[in-house]
Amino acid sequence: MKKMTVARLLLLALPFFSITKAAAEYPFNTIPEVLLKKASLVKRLDETTITVKNTGKAVYHRHYAYTILNEAGNDFAGLAVGYDQFRIINDISGTLYAADGKKIKSVRKKDIQDVSGTDGATLITDGRYKVYDFYCKDYPYTVEYDIEFEMNGIFSFPEWMPQSSPKVAVESSKLVFEVPDNYKLRYKMFRYSGEPEIKKDKNSNRYTWQINSKTAKPVESYAPEWNQQVTRVLTAPADFEIGGYKGNMDSWQNFGKFIASLYAGKDVLPEAVKTRVQELTQNLKSDPEKIETLYKYMQQNSRYISIQLGMGGWQPLDATYVAEKKYGDCKALSNYMVALLRAAGIKACSVLISGGADDKDIVPDFASNQFNHVIVCVPGKKDSTWLECTSQTVEPGYMGSFTGNREALLLDADNSRLVRTPRYAKEANLQNRVIDAQVDENGTLTASVITTSTGLMQDELHSVIYDLTDEQKQKRLRNNFSLPSYDIGSFGYTEIANSNVPAVIEKVQLVSKDYAAITGKRLFITPNILSKQSVKLSDDEKRENEIIYEYAFKTTDTVAIRIPKGFTIEAAPATVTLDNEFGTYSMHCSYKDGVVTMIRRYDRNAGTFPASDYNKMVTFYNAVYTADRARMVLVKQEN
């Protein structure tokens, strides 16, 4: 055989090495520089494909690669995929890459941890999660995941929102639906340029949405909800099937009719409970009295525990179960409350709502599953009565910030419809604080603080009373006031029951040794002891979003400070009065008979204001910030 030279051997070997050597994947240096600005995460690739087989079957596949730029992006590096009898995982895999794109580690489905979906409020659930985290801290790095699961029943589709939060940049993101040609895919687009690409084949249609090169968005104060600021697409079926139930959601009436059918026959009470209802209401003359009595009976004889099995995410436990076990989730407790009222001859309805501070506004012209909570409405000729059935402490009729002022779906068989929960006006949301204090010549402040809060201004205090231990209440108070340092003596809370506008009185005794600054014979004090505006806004960048003040309020502070003997006022803050479309503010100080008195008023208006008004807002806020910190100079007189 003819011998080959070394050079010839190397020449033949080079193609082999070029083929077998792993190519770099998602190297950091290929990210366009514009996408790195203000970003903690860059979505290099994010492709979701949903293949619909029929009204009750689909396959979900997602392949994504995220480059994590810093510690703030770590929350996106982990994997958490929920599953239950309606979502069956076929496969999961993941890979970790270094900054240069070289693979560090790969994981398969068998390596990924499987955990229960239970939490502190859930007694039983068939929901579980596949979770994994590479726990990499060597920035930048890239994680890549591939996920596929079967949708064994269709009631909703995942929302497509490529920029899922601030500091997220997108290199490429795509949503694809493949559906039978006779399947009606409903969709609604927000901030998406143009229409989806639609390709029609003989027996199917393929819908594609795609965006590329989206820079990270900044966080702006008082902006609309995040999902209103970015590109997103909502999708939903028309006809659907899940858990053996069929329905249609091309209108709210049809959607509500389907949910109402899940409640059918679930409102039967035990005879003993029916008898108790009659005993409680027989001497009451008005429906409002009966509603309040039965609501408090429900509160005293049940508690919130979540049970999510099968259709239990949408179908309530029956009223008899709740009556006997004395617990249930929001659906079950609301259904139970409706049954109690019906036994007293009062019509009430369960209401689907999106509860919480985030994403509370549903899309009213796109009927779909946009809800996470259930409450009760008792329709009235003039005013309806609203009941939050998961709380054992809230007053009947009060919704508060968790469920107030938003659209919801009232379930009333064929007459299901969107309604709006109560909005609390400025006059309902009050905070009145009275401070009686004295400061000694060493600069130590001793103060008695009485704060009366109503409406939305008392929501947090209501939670403090019932959800925190005394130790936790003390800890909160030690971090709650705008003083440099202070100690809490005694404290206490008193509730004033009112079904429309509840109130809480908070009483606190405190001592602050560093309240006053001392320079020679002068004491420098800040008459506004506790209510300083905490935010100072910057006008360095151009405002992108509208300005949203979700609710209005009125606050008043009356402060009386006894100054030490032998001191007089050398300099006092000027009176400040501000008034514009955002609200009004005034601060006035006076001195008489050894007592400094400060009266501060701040009223905020609710509304939506154009981005062009941002500089006005900055001017107003920063003027308040400065006025709140205005100091008074006390000087000791020579004998």
Burial of 601 (0-12, 13-18, 19+ CB in 10 A): middle
If asked whether residues 394 and 477 sit together in one domain, one would say: no
Note the pLDDT of residue 534: 84
If asked whether residues 268 and 149 sit together in one domain, one would say: no
User: Is the model's pLDDT at 346 over the cut of 80?
Assistant: yes
Assess if residue 4 is contained within a domain.
Answer: no
What's 162's domain CATH number?
Answer: 2.60.40.3140
Condensed to tens digits (0 to 9), the pLDDT of residues 12-30 reads 333 333 333 456 899 999 9
| Calpha distance 65→67 (Å, rounded) | 7
Q: What is the 3-state secondary structure (H, E, C) of 193-243?
A: CCCCEEEECCCEEEEEEEEEEECCCCCCCCCCCHHHCCCEEEEEECEEEEC
Cβ neighbours of residue 581 under 8 Å, at least 6 residues apart?
Answer: 605, 607, 609, 613, 616
| Calpha distance 249→314 (Å, rounded) | 15
Q: Residue 3: pLDDT band by 50, 70, 90 thresholds?
A: very low
Note the pLDDT of residue 22: 54
If asked whether residues 301 and 176 sit together in one domain, one would say: no
Which of 51-65, 163-177, 300-314, 494-508 has the least mean pLDDT? 300-314
Arithmetic mean of pLDDT over the chain: 92
| Calpha distance 16→517 (Å, rounded) | 78
Assess if residue 2 is contained within a domain.
Answer: no
- The pLDDT of 549-573, averaged and rounded, is 95
Q: What is the 3-state secondary structure (H, E, C) of 533-577?
A: CCCCCCCCCCCCCCEEECCCEEEEEEEEEECCCCEEEEECCCCEE
To the nearest 10 degrees (0 to 180), the angle between helices 330-343 and 287-300 is 140
Assess if residue 191 is contained within a domain.
Answer: yes
Burial of 190 (0-12, 13-18, 19+ CB in 10 A): middle
Contact 62, 115 (CB under 8 A): no
Distances (CA, A) of 494 to 81, 109, 450: 45, 54, 11
If asked whether residues 169 and 260 sit together in one domain, one would say: no
What's 575's domain CATH number?
Answer: 2.60.120.1130
* % of the chain with per-residue pLDDT over 70: 95
| Calpha distance 254→448 (Å, rounded) | 58
Cβ neighbours of residue 101 under 8 Å, at least 6 residues apart?
Answer: 23, 24, 25, 26, 27, 28, 142
What's 345's domain CATH number?
Answer: 3.10.620.30
DSSP 8-state code for residue 291: H
DSSP character string of 111-160: GSEEEE---TTEEEE--EEEEE-----SSSEEEEEEEEEEEES-S----B
- The pLDDT of 307-331, averaged and rounded, is 88
If asked whether residues 335 and 446 sit together in one domain, one would say: no
Note the pLDDT of residue 309: 66
The last residue of one of the domains, among 213, 245, 277, is 245
CB atoms within 10 A of CB 6: 7
User: Is the model's pLDDT at 319 over the cut of 80?
Assistant: yes
User: Is the model's pLDDT at 8 over the cut of 60?
Assistant: no
Note the pLDDT of residue 497: 79
Across the beta sheet with 522-525, what order do the strands follow? Answer: 517-519, 522-525, 632-636, 567-571
If asked whether residues 206 and 261 sit together in one domain, one would say: no
* Single-letter amino acid, residue 598: M
Could you report how far apart the first and last alpha carbons of the chain are, in Å? 120
Note the pLDDT of residue 499: 62
User: Is the model's pLDDT at 341 over the cut of 80?
Assistant: yes
Condensed to tens digits (0 to 9), the pLDDT of residues 244-266 reads 999 999 999 999 999 999 999 99
Note the pLDDT of residue 14: 32
The pairing of beta strand 522-525 with beta strand 517-519: antiparallel
Assess if residue 148 is contained within a domain.
Answer: yes
Cβ neighbours of residue 229 under 8 Å, at least 6 residues apart?
Answer: 191, 217, 223, 544, 545
Contact 473, 366 (CB under 8 A): no
If asked whether residues 197 and 260 sit together in one domain, one would say: no
If asked whether residues 527 and 446 sit together in one domain, one would say: yes
Cα 145 from chain centre? 27
Cβ neighbours of residue 165 under 8 Å, at least 6 residues apart?
Answer: 226
* Domain encompassing residue 73: 28-245
Cα angle vertex 358, ends 354, 359, to 5°?
60
Note the pLDDT of residue 307: 74
Q: Residue 418: pLDDT band by 50, 70, 90 thresholds?
A: very high
| Calpha distance 298→326 (Å, rounded) | 9
If asked whether residues 180 and 306 sit together in one domain, one would say: no
Cβ neighbours of residue 258 under 8 Å, at least 6 residues apart?
Answer: 245, 247, 248, 249
| Closest C-alpha among 35, 25, 44 to residue 98 | 25
Condensed to tens digits (0 to 9), the pLDDT of residues 457-481 reads 999 999 999 999 999 999 999 988 9
CB atoms within 10 A of CB 464: 18
The pairing of beta strand 122-125 with beta strand 306-308: parallel
If asked whether residues 223 and 294 sit together in one domain, one would say: no
- DSSP bridge partners of 271: none
| Closest C-alpha among 394, 374, 396 to residue 385 | 396
| Calpha distance 528→536 (Å, rounded) | 17
Condensed to tens digits (0 to 9), the pLDDT of residues 26-73 reads 999 999 999 999 999 999 999 999 999 999 999 999 999 999 999 999
| Calpha distance 526→514 (Å, rounded) | 12
| Calpha distance 387→400 (Å, rounded) | 11
Which of 166-170, 222-226, 311-315, 322-326 has the least mean pLDDT? 311-315
- The pLDDT of 263-283, averaged and rounded, is 96
326: alpha, beta or left? (left if phi > 0; alpha if psi -120 to 50):
left
| Calpha distance 629→613 (Å, rounded) | 25
Across the beta sheet with 79-83, what order do the strands follow? Answer: 79-83, 128-132, 113-116
| Closest C-alpha among 607, 545, 550, 543 to residue 230 | 545
Condensed to tens digits (0 to 9), the pLDDT of residues 172-215 reads 999 999 999 999 999 999 999 999 999 999 899 999 999 999 99
Q: Residue 280: pLDDT band by 50, 70, 90 thresholds?
A: very high
Cα angle vertex 384, ends 393, 298, to 5°?
30
| Calpha distance 143→133 (Å, rounded) | 10
If asked whether residues 498 and 400 sit together in one domain, one would say: no
Number of residues that this document lists for the chain: 639
Condensed to tens digits (0 to 9), the pLDDT of residues 502-517 reads 999 999 999 999 899 9
Q: What is the 3-state secondary structure (H, E, C) of 30-95?
A: HCCHHHHCCCCEEEEEEEEEEEEEECCEEEEEEEEEEEECCHHHHHHCCEEEEEECCEEEEEEEEE
The last residue of one of the domains, among 399, 420, 441, is 420
Assess if residue 16 is contained within a domain.
Answer: no
If asked whether residues 433 and 403 sit together in one domain, one would say: no
**Structural domains of the chain, count:** 3
| Calpha distance 395→314 (Å, rounded) | 26
The residue ranking higher by pLDDT, 562 or 120, is: 562
Assess if residue 10 is contained within a domain.
Answer: no
- The pLDDT of 440-460, averaged and rounded, is 96
3-state secondary structure of 367: coil
The last residue of one of the domains, among 228, 245, 262, is 245
- The pLDDT of 372-400, averaged and rounded, is 94
Assess if residue 17 is contained within a domain.
Answer: no
| Calpha distance 592→572 (Å, rounded) | 13
Assess if residue 23 is contained within a domain.
Answer: no
614: alpha, beta or left? (left if phi > 0; alpha if psi -120 to 50):
alpha
The pairing of beta strand 122-125 with beta strand 113-116: unpaired
CB atoms within 10 A of CB 40: 20
Which of 84-93, 244-253, 432-441, 479-488 has the least mean pLDDT? 479-488
- The pLDDT of 491-503, averaged and rounded, is 88
3-state secondary structure of 359: coil
